[in-house]
Amino acid sequence: MEIEALVRRDRAIAGAGVAALALLAWASVVGLAGRMPAMGLAPATGAAMPMAMPEPWGGGQFALTFLMWAVMMVAMMMPAASPMIVTFATINRRRAPSGTPPVPTAVFLAGYLVIWSAFSLVAAGAQWALQRAALLAPDTLRVVPWVGGALLLAAGIYQFTPLKRACLARCLSPVGFVLTEWRDGPRGAFIMGLRHGAFCAGCCWALMALLFVAGVMNLLWVAVLSGQVVIPQRPRPDSGRPAHRARRLDPLDRPRLGYARHGCSAGLERPAGRRPPGINQGKSLPHAQVEGGLR
């Protein structure tokens, strides 16, 4: 089978796998939301549960809460991660030696999900601590107003920090990430998944924390926040946004993308000793392979 046919097959498999995983996660989120009272994660409708006397959690309840957060993170983040996963599958196939199977894309995905599983563990611990301190309403799973206000303020401030912008540039830019972070082999693919997941967690943790304000497992707000994660993945080049604002939103991506796209599409070779703007001195990829990930 020709390499282009293999690339198309791998892209289709990766895209279908991500879509299936996201749909399964969303179905699980909806199911969990309806079964939370029966699992002891929320009181039954109409049941009174004073905030001053929260019930102690057992190990089983903590495990269920962790599972709830983990499934919710998969549902919310898989659509946003799909361009990076498909790009990895494409470039991974192009770089595989002839006759040698490429590293499974699932290895990259596993690294990505490890990070969000760790985030879910922290979120479950935060929910336990808030409920134990009587700062989380057990009937709505919302924090008290002053804690909610503090979370909103912290999330708003974080959006303007250099750390947020740096994480955003790497999380939402498959090309920029591949050009600076590529590693060969199964171990390299897993580390790439870890690093991409870490950048995305650094970009989106404040947004996820707002679930404590809107209500954990509030399906409407889970969907709204998911949209806020996915929408930046679809920038409109003709939106009329000033160039300096577009660069501020994604400061690392655009120079590299322009170099890779225009240089490769024109059939130009990169001059010896020169690197695309902003690329570090570590391992980089031939631009033709990167360009293949964009098609």
Whether 277 shows a pLDDT value over 90: the answer reads no
The model's confidence at residue 107, banded by pLDDT at 50, 70 and 90, is: very high
Whether 139 shows a pLDDT value over 80: the answer reads no
Average pLDDT, the chain: 77
Closest CA to 26 of 182, 189, 219, 215: 219
In a domain, 274, yes or no: yes
Q: What is the CA radius of gyration of the chain?
A: 21
In a domain, 126, yes or no: yes
Q: What is the mean pLDDT of residues 248-257?
A: 38
Lowest mean pLDDT among 67-76, 148-157, 167-176, 285-294: 285-294
The model's confidence at residue 189, banded by pLDDT at 50, 70 and 90, is: very high
The percentage of the chain sitting over the pLDDT mark of 70, rounded to a whole number, equals 70
pTM of the model: 0.75
Q: What would the two tokens of residue 38 be?
A: 């029966």
For residue 81, how far is the Cα from the chain centroid? 5
In a domain, 224, yes or no: yes
Whether 106 shows a pLDDT value over 80: the answer reads yes
Whether 265 shows a pLDDT value over 70: the answer reads no
Beta bridge partners of 143: 136
Instruction: Write down the pLDDT at residue 91.
Output: 93
Instruction: Write down the pLDDT at residue 56.
Output: 66
Of 256 and 286, which is predicted with more confidence? 286
Whether 249 shows a pLDDT value over 80: the answer reads no
Maximum separation of any 2 CA atoms in the chain, in Å: 72
The percentage of the chain sitting over the pLDDT mark of 90, rounded to a whole number, equals 46
Residues 6+ apart with CB under 8 A from 172: 80, 203, 232, 233, 250, 253
Domain that holds residue 69: 3-41+54-234+243-292
Convert the pLDDT of each residue in 220-244 to its tens digit: 889 998 888 887 654 444 444 433 3
Instruction: Write down the pLDDT at residue 60.
Output: 82
In a domain, 259, yes or no: yes
In a domain, 75, yes or no: yes
In a domain, 46, yes or no: no
Q: What is the mean pLDDT of residues 60-76?
A: 92
Residues 6+ apart with CB under 8 A from 250: 168, 169, 172, 173, 176, 235
In a domain, 91, yes or no: yes
In a domain, 89, yes or no: yes
Q: How many separate domains does the chain show?
A: 1
Beta bridge partners of 136: 143
Instruction: Write down the pLDDT at residue 117.
Output: 97
Whether 188 shows a pLDDT value over 80: the answer reads yes
